[in-house]
Each structure stands twice: as structure tokens, then as C-alpha cells.
Amino acid sequence: MKVEGRNAVRELILNGSTIDKVLIQNNLHDNVIEEIIALLKSKKIRFQFVAQNILNNESVTKHHQGVIAFTSDFKYSTTEDILNFAKEKNEDPFILILDGIEDPHNLGSIIRVCECLGVHGIIIEKTRACQVNETVIKTSAGATSYVKVARVANINNEIEKLKKQNVWVYACELGGDDLTKTNLKGAVAIVIGSEGRGTGKLTLKLCDGIVTIPQFGKINSLNASVATGIVLYEVRKQRS
């Protein structure tokens, strides 16, 4: 897998991930590039200066910002890993479940929001959904190095597991209870549906409740990553 972009590569190095090599564009001397070079040297990671056209040819995202790291495929976690991580931090589980998010830019933005707001982990499906790829990593600005992502066969099975662990599960959809007036304290998981169809009917039935973001304009839908940010911020505010 190729990790592209300055922030993404920097966080990859700081996180101690296994990196095979790094390509850096010739004649770049700004502070961020110099920091990346210093980190690579300190951790004895192989790197090479190359012409811009070589980076352009290697780039998947076409926005490499002068640096590309070559690493093993993204390492997924499990739902149990996420729950154990919350336990290690002595915190009630705070989990995001994505039901069919397909846009890698949305997924990358969502992972970035989760890292900023202290979410313990994200659950996605193996099929019918975007996986963590180069574009996701680039869009997350390095957050994929810190956020646990569990890839599962069926999110409904995971919801049932979470409920047995006393985690309350809420879907964010139109027609539910006011988000700001719903008690979201304690162990909680939030379900965000796909960009087009929303949350599946069976998934909605399994949830303990449905919350809706109060809106005041004429357009009644929000981008998935924007909606995620609003809901997770409300949860974080109530947990403070």
C-alpha cells in the first residue's frame, strides 16, 4: 500500500508502522519535509530522493505533496480490540458503525473526525462499503495511524454483540428523536448510513433508538462525514 501526503506519512512514521521505503521529491526543503527526513533517519527507515515525475507516476491519489511511503496493507482490528481499547483507557465504549459508506473521501474525513473526538473505533463491512485504501489514508491526514477500524462480515451481528456488552446503539436518521435532547452518555455506538440509501431497515430495527440532527434550512440531508461530525461532537459533549 502507498501512503501519500505529508501529514499521512509523518503520522505513519510517528506511529511506528512498518515502512518499506519512502520516496521524497528532489529539492523540497520546507519545515515539514525536513521533519520527515529527520524522523526517517532517526528510525533508520530507507528513503530516496526522486524526480517529481516519478512520484507522479507512483501516486494513486495524484496529491502526493512530494512524499510517498510504501508499507504493508492496512491492519484492521476487531470489535473486541475496540472494546478492549476502551477498557484499557477506563472509559465507556464510544464506537462508530458505518452502514455502507462507499466514498473514500467520506470515509477518510470520518476517520479524521473520530480521531479528533476520541472515538475508540469504527466498524465497517467487508462488502458493499469502501475499505481503507490510499485515498482514505490521504484524506484522513494521518488519522488512520491512530483509529482502530474493524472490518466485519455483517454489522448487524456486531450490533447484537455490542448490545450484549451493554452498549447502547443509536442510528442517525431522519424522523428520530432530537439528537440534542437524547441521553447519549455511557457506552454508546452510533450508526451512520450510506450516502444514498441511509441505514438498512434491519439495522434500524436492531438499534435502541434513532436520533435526528435538528436542521433549519430547506435541504433536509447532510453529507455523511458532516453528519458524523455533528453526532459525534454531541456525544463527546455529553461525555465531558
pLDDT tens digits, one per residue of 72-87: 888 999 999 999 999 9
Q: Are 32 and 92 in contact (CB under 8 A)?
A: no
> CA-to-CA distance for 162 and 132, rounded, in angstroms?
23
pLDDT tens digits, one per residue of 21-36: 999 999 998 999 999 9
Q: Are 120 and 127 in contact (CB under 8 A)?
A: no
Q: Which residues of 165-203 are buried (b: 16+ CB within 10 A; e: fewer)?
A: eebbbbbbbeebeebeebebeebbbbbbbbeeebbbeeb
pLDDT tens digits, one per residue of 184-240: 999 999 999 998 888 999 999 999 999 999 998 887 778 999 999 999 999 999 998
Q: Which CATH number fits domain 79-239: 3.40.50.720, 3.40.1280.10, 3.30.420.40, 3.50.50.60?
A: 3.40.1280.10
Cell of residue 59, nine digits:
501516486
For the chain, the structural domain boundaries read: 2-71, 79-239
139: closest CA among 58, 225, 213? 225
Confidence at residue 199, expressed as pLDDT on a 0 to 100 scale: 93
Confidence at residue 198, expressed as pLDDT on a 0 to 100 scale: 87
Confidence at residue 186, expressed as pLDDT on a 0 to 100 scale: 97
Classify domain 2-71 at the CATH topology level: 60s Ribosomal Protein L30; Chain: A; (3.30.1330)
pLDDT tens digits, one per residue of 121-167: 999 999 889 999 999 999 999 999 999 999 999 999 999 999 999 99
Confidence at residue 29, expressed as pLDDT on a 0 to 100 scale: 86
Confidence at residue 6, expressed as pLDDT on a 0 to 100 scale: 95
